[in-house]
Structure 1
């Protein structure tokens, strides 16, 4: 099912998000736990104990998964969040013409699509079967290979196919 966005510039999106952050006392996790953003992100169970949304070179490979991005005229903010014992879940915040919204890509992201939960410190048989099927990691050392489970190109391809401009 397609999601709709309103074409706005990155600067306009930054202004919208900044205005909402002011209402949330500058707390990004509070922004993500309100209104339609909360409803959209709650489709996957993950914690906001640790989160990032601003680009920084010192984040290593994870740095590619945060910051403002554009696909054509679709501008969005990419971020990730997870608890101390969870692998981060990548998501986006975008504008649909009325509200800021959230979306959690499936492709290239690291969460269990069947249970709709972040992978945490308590990997069970269900998680291991899922990891073997979708990521082709058959040993129990998958957490050592976590960087290959994230794929920015796959995420962006899914986002590009899933979103339709609303005029």
Structure 2
């Protein structure tokens, strides 16, 4: 063993949501924008849909995880907040608005119990306006997509500088 830092694997970006429920699908819209607009980024972009424990295989203790999801932030529609590490954990233990918020918390707890929790993790959360039937996000939430893409880029840069 040479004492060097372990190699960091690709960062997993997990877009969460249901594309049939308007703003609820924002996590998927953001990961699609990342795939299209930033193909050079060292990412493993995954459509987490409405999430489930089957995604446990995507969690790697040597990698980093960024989840992107619509979440009740008690803010104006389209408001974006980033929660890192323990702040993400605290956010996921609060009151849940959707089944996938519960499932993301369950996924992270299962990863910790299995000893495969990511060494770095963050949640990019966007306040929805509506989660009723609809194939596109509302204008305020759609306007947050470029901000969310930039938030992922900023996290990658921050983590790269910490290595």
Q: Name which one, 1 or 2, has greater alpha-carbon Rg.
A: 1
- TM-score normalised by the shorter chain: which range applies? 0.3 to 0.5
TM-score (norm 1): 0.32
Report which structure shows greater RCO (CA 8 Å, sep ≥6). 2
